[in-house]
Amino acid sequence: MSVERQQIEESSRFKKDFKGQVVAAGIRLAAPILRHGTERVMRNLDVKYEDGFDDQIRSFAKDGKLFLLVTDHQSLADTLACFEPADKIREIANLPGYFLPYTMTLATGDKGADTKGLQDVQAQTLDEHFINRVFLSRSSDQKNFNTKANLRGVRDEIKDYLLQGFGGIIHAEGNLNAAREKGVTEAVHNSPFRNFVTMFQSERKRLSIERNGMQPFERNSLRSIINLADEEGLDISIVPITTSGTYNIYDPSTGTLTRSAIRTGFHLADQSLAKVFVSNPMDINEGELGEIIRRHKRMTKEDWDEFNAIVAKKIASHLPNKMRGIYRTDTNSFEPIKTD
């Protein structure tokens, strides 16, 4: 690489980093306003519960069961969409709070300083709802984070939360089911026509969600927590939560707030940007899940795939059919949200 070319690239990186830092600083200054707006967006969500939900939670809590809230994963707003059901379960079951496996790159700034700024604001909101982040990394990041020592630390942290009676919140698909087209985000940030490309790619991402829909759970997403609870003699139950349309809150392409979310947060619009359906808790030792667990002394990979599929189908059954992905059926539970 020529010296001139290297200087140009260094200058470009400096300008990008400086701009990102300025944006992040502005976000932090506006944190109280953003938190208020976030809460207003969440209060406006259309949240429904399966019949008998409160009684089921009360019964499970009386039996000493822990609660693992499991959702699909459409955007970075999925955790926010869990606020109401998480608060309800916490109050009924008298939980101390929740742990939330959280991608390390969102907190380190690798996704951009503006995204990190928004995540810092979201972290304060999580604290207000008694949700504690447990940082982990993608499997590809072996060099920096995905080492044996760090993985052991994550395991011990989750074990401590379980032993203290905390519930868990997990987006079991792992990656955003909107983010199946590699290189889209990079194309947005590297384009000289960034604003136009962002708008185009955001729509492309939204359509990608509806086209691809739900994908299989990460095999270890439930297995690791359930096995850890079992090792400690704890009985865990699963609460399937369906989030539909959260990409209307956080843009899947940029990880930042959408125009619709800003308008709703600032009282310029009064609309529900997403729908949430909370199913009754599932006892993993009963029914189909119990049969799979008792099939072998130690569950095989195939057993876990089948186990995950049962939970995933429960979640997908409350999505619009075109967003159910590999779990599509001939019926449709509710229509997707449309915003301007």
What are the start-end ranges of the H helices in 129-277? 148-163, 184-190, 194-212, 219-231, 259-265
Does the pTM surpass 0.75? The reply is yes
Cβ atoms of 213 and 44 within 8 Å: the answer is no
3-327 folds as: Glycerol-3-phosphate (1)-acyltransferase (3.40.1130)
The closest alpha carbon to 287, from 318, 310, 317, 315, belongs to 310
Q: Which DSSP state fits 183?
A: T
| DSSP codes joined into one string, 36-56 | HHHHHHHHTSEEEE-TTHHHH
Environment class of 66 (CB within 10 Å of its CB; exposed 0-12, middle 13-18, buried 19+): buried
Structure token digits, residue 6? 């290297």
Distance (Å, whole) CA 228 – CA 234: 9
Tokens matching residue 260: 């619709």
Q: Could you tell me where the DSSP H helices lie in 44-140?
A: 53-62, 78-81, 83-93, 104-108, 113-128
Distance of CA 88 to the CA centre of its chain: 19
Cα–Cα nearest to 251, from 105, 114, 82, 103: 114
| Token code pair at residue 152 | 């052991």
**pLDDT tens, the chain, 340 aa long:** 554 545 444 544 544 555 556 655 665 655 666 676 777 888 888 999 999 999 999 999 999 999 999 999 888 889 989 999 999 999 999 999 999 988 766 655 565 665 666 667 777 888 889 999 988 765 555 566 566 777 788 889 999 999 999 999 999 887 665 444 333 333 334 434 344 444 444 555 555 555 578 889 988 889 999 999 999 999 999 999 999 988 888 877 776 778 888 888 877 788 888 999 999 999 999 999 999 999 988 999 999 999 999 999 999 999 988 889 888 876 554 444 444 3
C-alpha 171/C-alpha 241 separation (Å) is 10
- Report domain extents, the chain: 3-327
